[in-house]
Structure 1
């Protein structure tokens, strides 16, 4: 067991502060974050050039050291040595909370092993910021982070998420969000609720709330820019059960059921049945029309 008294000095060693930075609007930084950045000996930055702009804006002069996924294993012993010598370090990411989708977790673990204090400051985080304004249930949620890029790997993750009742939060590039939604259609019905948020806290902040199909139709005619947060509606355990029950129906019964319950055209229902059953649309079409 490891017990940490965060605000009690430990043998002259330094402290690792996990300092959140604004996700867009610089006014979102806290007084405490500015105070810590002014007081520490080092700032371990995901991108020193990006962090320097923030430091310059608030007229903070402090030594920086790069710390990112490509050099983390080399840097961690160096940072631990600074901390053991009594110097304090603030770790920051390019935006939002550190240690989420960056190598900060490994540094935290190394500090815990060496009995070095780790103090986390509260602050902006894109996923929760998007969630509470999304309109989707926010009492329970799962943070998924960045998805793998391969279609098969994404589909496997979506198949696991479909049975979850809580809202799911995904980070995605604007260049891949359309293909990600298309991959979702291999698992979810096209009417499933999703919310796409982009440019959080910035002047062009935008929420796109609707179904998977509605968002895809929008993206087919509109280009989007800025980092995106994709939220997937939960409550799909019942959906998974219903789909399992539908597989006991004949193909014709299955198509008719979807047409009635979801008010789909025969064409849309045939496409949905083909997806659910892993069949070609032509096979379902011939079976339904008894060709």
Structure 2
């Protein structure tokens, strides 16, 4: 008699609260209670959440240094039809936290993976910071060493999207000093601290203002650091240089060149036309 095929279990990526325990969703609570195993970044931390909600599901640790060993065990459980929930200490699994390798392995084997969305410090911080949100880039944790930090900030200095980072509280002041050196005193930034907790703080201002503010005392709590888009570069080319460039590089008549340069500089066509007359006079001199 042949063995019946076993339907694989599901790997659930369950978002947990980033501070306030009330931010656990109804669905997340149900999944954590129903799965066969919960793989947690730190079981000691997760037991507090479990105790608060009366969750009795078995816990196992799954963190950066045991990903390969524990990952294979979890995969075997999924192959056998058992379901597993992956959680991190706070927020969404696999986002600057363990989980990516496990998800990739599941995808490679066509094992089901589903998200149980919820809290994310990246999105929560961006939503309350007051910086542009149309386009943004998450850059993860900032390097701990000053040289690497400054290199990173220099590389991103011209970025036109809002940048989102994670930073440790004891490095924030040094980080802001390096940021100010590479991006300038007036670069707009926001520091979001202790999101959803009792002492939540959102500071928005220039890099120099932030440094002065946080240098006053010991900084505590989880931090999301956001950097506003680089300011638009000022026009370096003069109107006459632009007229000369268009005349040199195109076959357009001067009348059309004047229109194009006026559009480029946001000037009245009559003003640009006067500049074109100066060029004509110079040509005839």
CA distance in 2, matches of 1:74, 1:122: 26
Alignment match, 1:260: none
Residue 184 (structure 1) aligned to one of 172, 176, 179: 179
What's the TM-score once normalised by structure 1's chain length? 0.77
Residue 45 (structure 1) aligned to one of 26, 40, 44: 40
Q: Report matched runs for 1:187-226 at 5 Å.
A: 187-226=182-221
Q: 5+ residue gaps in structure 2?
A: 238-285
CA distance in 2, matches of 1:102, 1:220: 29
CA distance in 1, matches of 2:59, 2:144: 32
Q: Secondary structure at the match of 1:156?
A: helix
1:21 and 2:11 correspond: no
Residue 83 (structure 1) aligned to one of 63, 73, 78: 78
CA distance in 2, matches of 1:91, 1:150: 31
Q: Report matched runs for 1:86-165 at 5 Å.
A: 86-165=81-160
CA distance in 1, matches of 2:179, 2:71: 38
After superposition, the C-alpha distances for 1:196-236 in whole angstroms (9 at most, x for unaligned) are 01110011000111111011111221322101110000134
- TM superposition shift of 1:11: 4.3
8 Å contact kept, 2:136–2:163? yes
After superposition, the C-alpha distances for 1:170-189 in whole angstroms (9 at most, x for unaligned) are 10111001111111122111
- Structure 1 range deviating more: 155-164 or 42-51: 155-164
CA distance in 1, matches of 2:67, 2:147: 29
CA distance in 2, matches of 1:38, 1:166: 40
CA distance in 2, matches of 1:180, 1:221: 15
Alignment match, 2:64: 69
- TM superposition shift of 1:75: 1.0
Alignment match, 1:251: none
1:166 and 2:164 correspond: no
Q: Secondary structure at the match of 2:70?
A: helix
Q: Secondary structure at the match of 1:21?
A: coil
Alignment match, 2:55: 60
Q: 5+ residue gaps in structure 1?
A: 1-9, 246-291
